[in-house]
Structure 1
Amino acid sequence: MASLLPLFFLLLHQPLFSTANVHKLNLLRSELLSQPTPLNDTPPTVFFEVTKPIEVPKTKPCSQLILQHDFAYTYGQAPVFANYTPPSHCPSQTFSTIVLEWKATCRGRQFDRIFGVWLGGVEILRSCTAEPRPNGIVWTVEKDITRYYSLLKSNQTLAVYLGNLIDKTYTGIYHVNISIHFYPPEEKLNSFEQKLDNLASGYHSWADLILPISRNLPLNDGLWFEVQNSTDTELKEFKIPQNAYRAVLEVYVSFHENDEFWYSNLDNEYIAANNLSGTPGNGPFREVVVSLDGEVVGAVWPFTVIFTGGINPLLWRPITAIGSFDLPTYDIEITPFLGKILDGESHKFGFNVTNALNVWYIDANLHLWLDKQSSKTEGKLLKHSSLPLVVSLVSDFKGLNGTFLTRTSRSVSSTGWVKSSYGNITTRSIQDFYYSNSMVLGNDGNMQVVNQKIIFNDSVHIKLPSSYVHSLTSHKTFPFYMYTDYLEQGNGTYLLITNVDLGFIEKKSGLGFSNSSLRNLQSAEGNMVVKNNLVASGLGSTQQVYAYDGGKFCYFRNISSSNYTILYDKVGSKCNKKSLSNLDFGLSRVWPFGARISGLQFT
């Protein structure tokens, strides 16, 4: 559930309500947690999220343990802190890749928990814990944090917030180690410092300064902002150096409690007509809107992350849902607006969520590139367009059965120039969004089908003084399908069926940048027999195909599991069409995505 309110435990034991959707399954979460009796001689289960390995040089890393802590009853308490110092003991003091490693174990009975890791107030990881078994689980998250290089060069305070609850029933304590691995470059010419000196544009190097756009300590919570509803705008004041020539806002987003399953939330008119008070509403569309001094500068239409206890926890054991262990972040180009904030004065970023219910956790990092040859740059916003959100809602329902179609679109574009010692550089940023959600309710509201697609395109075009143009375009598609049904079996027994398909598809291309493509597709099926509101039996299975093609580096994985058991696991790393076609065959044979999600075929 990755939510932290104690009230939720009370809700788990209330009777099921008569409208079926993912929220009905949510009421059974406590029953799906592992029972406290351990199995003899059973080793801990390894949980994992399928993703490509991090590309690291063939050098020996210099490793540093930053934090070792046991997260017991930590809900509503201050984050856990540790001092970070740069790795002065390393033979090399320049690094081409830096990797954060989170390793955790847990035993007993416990819910999934959202957590965050911050360095100097800058968030570097948003993740969710796995739900333990009586004999224990172990999982590892590795994240490339090289983009935070400038932050890692000086002493910082590491903060970790993982709000856990411990009592006689929920006994799982999360034992955590956090390490950072520093990889020296294979050749001196590849060192980070020389990249900075040789590349003036700021589009092939990491930022010189990163400002936290998060809440200030002290806190008895995470450093993220909490957006409670659609009228709630969270603000953070900041001031930037006057010699900045590029700025990118990296946004972290997660959704919880009444909006954990926002993509399945019901229309308010339907809820009112059927007297379904307490059912999460506001429809199935959400977007994070980012403003600068009150003006919209970009948006995030988030990927449908399902936490390890989400929808049906049996689906995510041991293969967790896409993005659950390393939630995606979203970059918004702020460079066109630098002319408005280079005045040495304070300015404000704002975060708002359209149609939000409680609660959304949002913060951001402002990455800044500084002109080392000048104490002051100047700029001007030439053109900015933020068209109003276009929304279409068509509903047709009678009683508890009906159909609902929601479509939305938005476009944000901006152009501005910045003059520095590198010359006059003009940047144009464009974001285009398209959304469609088709929802069907049947079987007197006990059956729900959600078929959703988010298209999230953004591009940045940079014109240098030499008239050479850099451009980088990202085309993202987030398809999602969910089917849940509740079938009466008699004698107080019923069958709950759950099917989930989801995908993260991205293609990056551009002039002056390397091209890459990612197709990460999952299909999961589960069922539970419930008697007298207690889970009598259940089965969950998951299949996944992951295919990344970076030109010189490729990674393919085709894997399937059923109730903790891996059925098959095929891995490849060669960049050739034969490998791709083999995985294409496996996907089409195992999961007929095309029949359920338009545009998700593996081509």
Structure 2
Amino acid sequence: MYSVVSPEKTALQKAFFLFSSQGKEKKRKKRVNNNQSMAASLFHLPFLFVFLLHPLSSTANIHKTNNLLKSHLFTEPTSITKTHPAHKPLNDTPPTVFFEVTKPIDVPNTKPCKHFILQHDFASTYGKPPVLVNYTPPSHCPSQDFSKIVLEWKATCKGRQFDRIFGVWLGGVELLRSCTAEPRATGIVWTVRKDITRYYSLLVKNETQEFAVYMGNIVDSTYTGIYHVNVSIYFYPAEKKLSHSDHGFNNLASGRDSKADLILPISRNFPLNDGFWFEIQNSTDSEAKEFKIPQNVYRAVLEVYVSFHENDEFWYGNYPNEYIIANNLTGFPGNGPFREVVVSLDGEIVGAVWPFTVVFTGGINPLLWRPITAIGSFDLPSYDIEITPFLGNILDGKTHKLGFSVTNALNVWFIDANLHLWLDHRSTITEGKLLKHESKPLALSLVSNFTGLNGKFLTSARRFISSNGWVKSSHGNITTRFNQHFGYRNLMEMGKDGDLQIVNQTIKFTDNVSFRKPSSNVKAFKSLKNFEFDMYSDYMDQGNGTSLSVANVTLGFNEKNVKHAGLGFASNILRNLQNGQGVMVVKNNLVQSGMGSTQQEYTYNGSGFCYFRNISSSNYTILDDNVGNTCSERNHSHLGFGLGRWWQFPARRASLASELLNKYHDGV
């Protein structure tokens, strides 16, 4: 039922599937257990273990590429192994610390109370139920009044292993979506700390709940890495006594910092042999969850978690179908490079997610993400959709349905959500009405200009969704307006008979939400996001079963949040830019040598808090690391955010590739 290429599963498709960094284990497991093949998974990135795509124009090339990809490529090259700290025996070399660059969590100046949750060794856990433990609130903490709650994930691993997607849930509510780091022979360690204060009501609920972790891992004689995991939650007492008075209209001014009274899981139910997420398999597939809310709700926000895998792990580089058909290519993920998650309530579109292009730790070129991992890889972003205007339709005490689909999807997308609800504690019933809802059809266009395997493709998209409605509670009659504006542009260039691929993609979207009460000032929030992905990928056949692959990659995450509350105004701005350059030599399916370098500049400017970090690495080694926490004009990205200017010049791209190759040859 895939809307791309032939439904036949060729040997090439089977081979390509092995190299999806989130789907490799599924292929191997299903082949052993069911003797079934799954759909192909590839992207032209020559560095997706390591050079996924040598576009096929002849039978000879098909056989050559097929044989090459039948076996896994080992991703710790000999030349890099020799550069381990000094030449110590493996047992004497300390583990490498992996990390994602982000700002520190703003915690109060109080001693946190540690609540240990679980320890588990994730070995052969693929296709098995999530690991479950009973969770109860931290009754041992001296104070039960918390102003900050932080989830801490600590993990170690040694040996050889793929990156694994995993999730953490409490009572079916997802708290964290993340990816493991890929280990090395000397071992690795990494820590993820996430502010989970927005789940306050769930975390302090006075009852026993199921705390669940799912990570599908496979251990055998080749892939030996076992992930040893500890999970704890830190509860920070408030510096001064918090007011637990009713939320009301005034509390809406805090926006996302306002903690919901009730959080409902919009996820799958037990029994499961996987995560709680729904799996979207193709462009016509949809998943839904029935739910019922209390009749005294006055605000509702849907928080959506999204990740993409297997055939769509690199959706932003998928070929247009017309290119695949014209060149008679099979086994190549298509449907073009545009994707969106569409969210519906009782069959009506209420919002959308155009996701950030998270690259997992084994993606494109694994050497790029050691030890600095890609933006969002350790803490995948979630996305909020305000559905308060629709409360008038669902405050009837009846069951309703939230649904998810993905435009142009190939398998597989993992999606679930949390429904945050604010309750009127002075009333048992609130009432509301949807005044207006507008969801314009997606405007999607493709302009192609190609001959054979060479050419250019410009994909553009726009969408607008708007709703407003009122809810009457003990806080008064509050009218909520919510709208989303989306814009998308992807310029893809294929050259050298398909051996060269250049992608320049930008996603822009704006969320606006406002609350208005008669005789009161409007409280409004605006979030502006700009996601950048640029990639230059070149594959070179060196003969004698040897190939050379070069990739330059840029990831950019820009976000500005603005809050208006009466006469008050506040904003924060995040600029997060990452550049990576990598090269690998592969012979007979084994990585012979290679190098990877990464530079990242992270700048956050908020009300009363600023953070700046400029860091670079090469082959596991940190070269430079500058950190600051003062607000100043100099804490602006010197790299720029929209690198479209940088990528527009073929001569510049070619010179960068040439520079990288020279550095690589100098170091060999």
Note the 1:362-511 alignment, pairs <5 A: 362-511=415-564
Per the TM alignment, residue 153 of structure 1 is displaced from its structure 2 partner at its CA by 1.2
TM-score by length of 1: 0.94
1:227 matched to which residue of 2? 280
Aligned positions of 1:90-489 closer than 5 A: 90-154=141-205, 155-188=208-241, 191=242, 193-194=244-245, 196=247, 199-201=250-252, 203=255, 205-489=258-542
Q: Is the 8 A contact 1:449 1:482 kept in 2?
A: yes
Equivalent residues of 1:440, 1:450 under 8 A apart? yes
The residue aligned with 2:27 is 7
Q: Does 1:30 align with 2:72?
A: yes
Paired position in structure 2 for 1:535:
591
Q: 1:17 to 1:196 in 2, by over 3 A?
A: closer
Letter in 2 for 1:3: G
The alpha carbon displacement at 1:30 in A equals 3.4
345-354 vs 527-536, greater mean Cα deviation: 527-536
Structure 1 range deviating more: 275-284 or 247-256 = 275-284
The alpha-carbon distance between structure 1 residues 268 and 159, as it changes in their structure 2 partners (threshold 3 A), is same
**Is the 2:249–2:475 Cα contact (8 Å) retained in structure 1?**
no
Corresponding residue for 2:610?
554
Shift in Å at residue 69 of structure 1?
0.5
How far is 1:21 from its partner? 5.5
> How far apart, CA to CA, are the structure 2 residues paired with 1:242 and 1:510?
29
Partners of 2:313 and 2:43 in 1: CA distance: 20
Worse overlay, 328-337 or 464-473: 464-473
2:109 to 55, 58, 71: 58
SS class of match (1:111): coil
- CA change 1:185–1:20 in 2 (3 A) is closer
Aligned mates of 2:577, 2:456 — CA distance in 1: 26
> What's the C-alpha RMSD, in Å, of the aligned pairs?
2.4
Alpha-carbon distance, 1:468 to partner: 1.0
Cα deviation, residue 40, structure 1:
4.7
- Distance, in Å, in 2 between the alignment partners of 1:120 and 1:398 is 54
Q: Is the Cα contact below 8 Å between 1:35 and 1:109 reproduced in 2?
A: no
CA distance in 2, matches of 1:294, 1:501: 37
Residue 39 of structure 1: how far off its partner (Å): 2.6
Check conservation: 1:21, 1:264, Cα contact below 8 A: no
- C-alpha offsets along residues 466-499 of structure 1, whole Å, 9 cap, x if unaligned? 3310000000000110111111223332210011
Report the residue type matching 1:7 in the other structure: K
3-state SS of paired residue (2:244): helix
The Cα of 1:392 is off from its aligned counterpart by 1.1
Q: Distance in 1 between matches of 2:166 and 2:210?
A: 17
State the secondary structure of the residue aligned to 1:272. helix
* CA 212–275 in structure 1, closer or farther in 2 if over 3 Å, else same: same
SS in 2 for 1:412: strand
1:536–1:87 Cα change, 3 Å:
same
Which residue identity lines up with residue 412 of structure 1 in the other structure? I
Distance in 1 (CA, whole Å) between partners of 2:554 and 2:70 is 21
In structure 2, distance between residues paired with 1:18 and 1:232:
22
Q: 8 Å contact 1:34–1:108 — kept in the other structure?
A: no
Q: Offset of 1:200 from its aligned partner?
A: 5.0
Offset from partner CA, 1:417-465 (integer Å, 9 cap, x none):
0000000000000100000000000001010000000001111011023
Alignment check: 8 A CA contact 1:95 1:192 kept:
no
Distance 1:494 1:200 in 2: 60
Which AA in structure 1 matches 2:630?
K
- CA distance in 2 between counterparts of 1:195 and 1:45 reads 48
Relative to 1, partners in 2 of residues 1:365 and 1:17: Cα closer, same or farther, differing over 3 Å? closer
In structure 1, how many angstroms separate the alpha carbons of the residues matched to 2:43 and 2:333? 14
List per-residue Cα deviations over 1:508-543 (Å, max 9, x = no partner): 112126310000000000001122332111100000
Distance in 1 separating the partners of 2:41 and 2:547: 12
Query: What letter is aligned with 1:425?
Result: I
Distance 1:285 1:17 in 2: 16
- The Cα shift of 1:8 comes to 5.6
Aligned counterparts of 2:109 and 2:274: Cα–Cα separation in 1: 40
**Secondary structure of 1:391 counterpart:** strand
In structure 2, how many angstroms separate the alpha carbons of the residues matched to 1:67 and 1:17? 36
Instruction: Map Cα deviations across residues 389-417 of structure 1 (whole Å, 9 max, x no partner).
Output: 00110111111111110000000000000
- Structure 2: how far apart are the matches of 1:131 and 1:481? 23
Distance 1:17-1:111 versus aligned 2 partners, 3 A rule = closer
- Does the C-alpha gap of structure 1 residues 523 and 380 become closer, same or farther in structure 2, counting only changes over 3 Å? same
In structure 1, distance between residues paired with 2:51 and 2:543:
19
Unaligned runs of 5+ residues in structure 1 are 599-603
Shift of 1:576: 1.9
Aligned residues with identical type, % of pairs: 67
Matched, 1:514 2:565: no
Are the structure 2 counterparts of residues 591 and 361 from structure 1 closer, same or farther at C-alpha, using a change threshold of 3 Å?
closer
| Displacement of 1:273 | 1.7
Name the CA distance, whole Å, in 2 between partners of 1:433 and 1:133: 41
Mapped to 2, the partners of 1:18 and 1:211 lie a distance apart of 36
- The residue identity in structure 2 corresponding to 1:102 is W
Measured after TM superposition, the shift of residue 193 of structure 1 is 2.4
Residues 534 and 643 of structure 2 are in contact (CA less than 8 Å); yes or no, is this contact kept in structure 1? no
Secondary structure of the residue aligned to 2:115 is strand
Residue 448 of structure 1 aligns with an amino acid whose one-letter code is Q
Distance 1:223 1:135 in 2: 33
Does the CA contact (< 8 Å) of 2:574 and 2:604 recur in 1? yes
1:143/1:332 CA distance change after superposition, 3 Å: same
- Following TM superposition, by how much is the alpha carbon of 1:35 offset from its aligned partner in structure 2, in angstroms? 8.0
Q: State the distance in 2 between where 1:192 and 1:309 align.
A: 46
- Kindly state the Cα deviation for residue 228 of structure 1 after the two structures are TM-superposed: 0.2
Question: Number of matched residues?
Answer: 589
| C-alpha separation in 2, matches of 1:229 and 1:592 | 32
1:601 corresponds in structure 2 to none
- Whichever residue aligns with residue 130 of structure 1, its letter is A
SS at match of 1:269: helix
Aligned counterpart in structure 2 of residue 566 of structure 1, from 619, 622, 627: 622
TM-score by length of 2: 0.85
Indicate how the Cα distance of structure 1 residues 546 and 597 shifts in structure 2: closer, same or farther if over 3 A, else same. farther
- Rounded Cα–Cα distance in structure 1 between residues aligned with 2:449 and 2:130: 48
Give distance in 2, aligned partners of 1:341 and 1:17: 42
Q: CA deviation at 1:3?
A: 2.7
Range that drifts further, 345-354 or 487-496 = 487-496
Cα separation, 2, equivalents of 1:419 and 1:280: 49
CA distance in 1, matches of 2:431, 2:551: 56
For 2:295 and 2:648, locate their aligned partners in 1 and report how far apart those are by CA, in whole Å: 48
Q: Structure 2: where are the runs of 5+ without partners?
A: 1-20, 53-68, 82-88, 650-668
**Counterpart of 1:30 in 2: which secondary structure?**
coil
1:365 match: secondary structure: strand
Q: Structure 1 residues 385, 57: CA separation in 2 closer, same or farther (over 3 Å shift)?
A: same
CA distance in 2, matches of 1:169, 1:370: 53
Amino acid in structure 2 at the alignment position of 1:562? S
Report the CA distance between 1:593 and its aligned residue: 6.8
